[in-house]
Amino acid sequence: MSSFTPTERTQVKRLPKRGMYDHETVFKILDEAFVCHVGFVVDGQPYVIPTNFGRVGETLYLHGSAASRMLRTLSEGIPVCVTVTLVDGLVLARSAFHHSANYRSVVVLGTARLVEDPTEKMEALRLFTEHIMKGRWEQIRWPTELELKATTVLALPLEEVSAKVRMGDPKDDEEDYELPIWAGVLPLPVVAAAPIPDTRLKAGIAVPENVTKYSRGGKF
Q: Is the CB of residue 81 less than 8 Å from the CB of residue 4? A: no
Cα dihedral 109, 1, 33, 54 in deg (nearest 10): 70
Each residue of 112-137: pLDDT tens digit? 999 999 999 999 999 999 999 999 99
Whether pLDDT at 220 is above 80: no
d(CA 57, CA 127): 11
Q: Which of 159, 178, 177 is nearest to 112 (CA)?
A: 159
pLDDT at 19: 86
Distance set, CA 191 to CA 51, 196, 212 (Å): 21, 15, 12
pLDDT band at 218 (very low <50, low <70, confident <90, very high): low
pTM as predicted: 0.91
Q: Of 219 and 160, which is predicted with more confidence?
A: 160
pLDDT at 127: 94
The residue ranges of every structural domain in the chain are 16-189
Q: Is the CB of residue 47 less than 8 Å from the CB of residue 28? A: no
Q: Which of 117, 42, 123 is nearest to 80 (CA)?
A: 42
Average pLDDT over the chain reads 93
pLDDT at 215: 83
Whether pLDDT at 182 is above 90: yes
Q: Which whole number is the average pLDDT over 52-58?
A: 94
Ramachandran category for residue 70: left, alpha or beta (phi over 0 → left; psi -120 to 50 → alpha): alpha
CATH topology of domain 16-189: Pnp Oxidase; Chain A (2.30.110)
Whether pLDDT at 219 is above 90: no
pLDDT at 42: 93
